[in-house]
């Protein structure tokens, strides 16, 4: 009897182990006119190193049985702390020469979500988005109120000058020259040469739960309190265990109008399309109407993918049993 029970316990354990989904994480550090011609070997190496570091931080959490929400938070925090990307420390400048940051996070288990827009003094906006998701009854907070909530949550606050970098300041000067004849930015076609560099991550954990996180400084020379797609759930970020998780980067106005992240997952859910094919389709359609950018995606079977319609996208992934892959240019796609 005891032997039978033991055998039954073992086979139940084996079935449970078999039923577990493979863990994985995929992230991006922005898409745009990123080509070999405008990057030195040292810069290339620095990007690869930082992408790998972020993947390791996220993946090691998944490996230890941690949640996908924790994994994407950790990966995005690393990228926010690096001056290389347009999020956190490396955020672009607004027209008025300051920085306004946006971020969001979504938990695929229950479609809980948190987002912040236009924050100026929070070192890691992704941690604030997460606090909004977990510690408030709201989904999106903005500006001064979001900053007050950050302080109440005892998140690290910094002076806005913490986000200053010469590289981004030079980009602002170039952008201002380009838009000078028509100072109303909304009327000027977006020039991808002003650099995008939003960061984001999606992951699947041992329990098969999906999560997505996105963080950005927005677009260079933005003004009038402009908010992009990154904090807009369904546009720059989406996660639902029923379909997939997506984090986006690109020309936010298009990602909002075309609801890029949720459209990809809707195709997976209702048209039974693979997430990789859905992402490719949506990005191709976006290109047709003039929207530049890219996405990283994970579906609920643990398939990781990325898709972009620009010259390059900083990106990296690691799935269970696989090597870490990190790429920058389209040609290595
Ligand atoms: N999507 C971001 C925005 O429009 C910009 C980017 O991805 O670089 O704010």
- Given this model, what pLDDT does residue 194 score? 55
Residue 16 lies in a domain: no
Atom of ligand 1 nearest to the CA of 218: 9
- Given this model, what pLDDT does residue 182 score? 61
Residue 105 lies in a domain: yes
Termini Cα distance of the chain: 57
Which whole number is the average pLDDT over 135-155?
98
pLDDT at 11 over 60: no
Tokens standing for residue 207: 């329990």
Residue 3 lies in a domain: no
Question: Best substitution site from 252, 292, 294 to test ligand 1's pocket, by max atoms within 8 Å of Cβ?
Answer: 252
Residue 15 lies in a domain: no
**Cβ–Cβ under 8 Å, residues 160 and 96:** no
- Given this model, what pLDDT does residue 314 score? 96
Q: How many domains does the chain have?
A: 1
Catalytic residues: 198
Residue 315 lies in a domain: yes
Question: Best substitution site from 30, 119, 196 to test ligand 1's pocket, by max atoms within 8 Å of Cβ?
Answer: 196
Residue 216 lies in a domain: yes
pLDDT in tens, 168-185: 999 899 888 887 766 555
Question: Whole-model pTM?
Answer: 0.92
pLDDT in tens, 280-305: 999 999 999 999 999 999 999 999 99
The sign of the torsion formed by the CA atoms of 142, 79, 43, 158 equals positive
> Residue 177's domain spans which residues?
22-332
**Cβ–Cβ under 8 Å, residues 317 and 34:** no
- Ligand 1 centre from 244 Cα, in Å? 21
Q: What residues are in contact with ligand 1 under a 6 Å CB criterion?
A: 30, 86, 196-198, 216, 218-219, 228-230, 236, 249-250, 252
pLDDT in tens, 205-249: 999 999 999 999 999 999 999 999 999 999 999 999 999 999 999
Residue 209 lies in a domain: yes
pLDDT at 18 over 90: no
Residue 7 lies in a domain: no
pLDDT in tens, 106-143: 999 999 999 999 999 999 999 999 999 999 999 999 99
- Ligand 1 centre from 22 Cα, in Å? 30
Instruction: Answer left, alpha or beta for residue 111, where phi above 0 means left and psi between -120 and 50 means alpha.
Output: left
Query: What CATH number does the domain containing 210 carry?
Result: 3.60.20.30
């Amino acid at each position: 009897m005891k032997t039978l029970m033991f055998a039954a316990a073992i086979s139940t354990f084996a079935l449970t182990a078999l039923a577990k989904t493979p863990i994985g994480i995929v992230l991006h550090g922005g898409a745009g006119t990123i080509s070999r011609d405008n990057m030195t070997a040292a810069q290339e190496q620095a990007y690869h190193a930082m992408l790998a570091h972020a993947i390791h931080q996220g993946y090691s959490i998944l490996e230890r049985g941690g949640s996908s929400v924790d994994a994407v938070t950790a990966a995005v925090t690393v990228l926010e702390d690096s001056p290389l990307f347009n999020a956190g420390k490396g955020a672009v400048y607004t027209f008025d020469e300051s920085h306004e940051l946006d971020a969001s996070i979504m938990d695929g288990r229950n479609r809980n979500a948190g987002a912040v827009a236009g924050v100026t003094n929070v070192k890691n906006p992704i941690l604030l988005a997460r606090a909004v998701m977990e510690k408030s009854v709201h989904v999106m907070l903005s500006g001064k109120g979001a900053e007050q909530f950050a302080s109440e949550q005892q998140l690290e606050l910094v002076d806005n000058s913490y986000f200053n970098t010469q590289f981004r300041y030079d980009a602002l000067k170039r952008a201002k020259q380009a838009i000078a004849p028509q100072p109303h930015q909304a009327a000027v076609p977006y020039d991808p040469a002003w650099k995008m560099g939003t960061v984001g991550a999606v992951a699947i954990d041992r329990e098969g739960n999906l999560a997505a996180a996105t963080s950005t400084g927005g677009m260079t020379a933005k003004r009038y309190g402009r908010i992009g797609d990154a904090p807009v759930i369904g546009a720059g970020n989406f996660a639902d265990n029923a379909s997939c998780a997506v984090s986006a980067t690109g020309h936010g106005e298009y990602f909002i109008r075309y609801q890029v992240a949720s459209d990809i997952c809707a195709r997976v859910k209702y048209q039974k399309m693979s997430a990789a094919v859905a992402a490719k389709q949506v990005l191709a359609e976006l290109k047709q109407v003039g929207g530049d950018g890219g996405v990283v995606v994970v579906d609920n079977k643990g398939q990781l993918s990325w898709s972009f319609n620009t010259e390059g996208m900083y990106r990296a992934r690691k799935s269970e049993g696989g090597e870490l892959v990190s790429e920058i240019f389209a040609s290595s796609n």
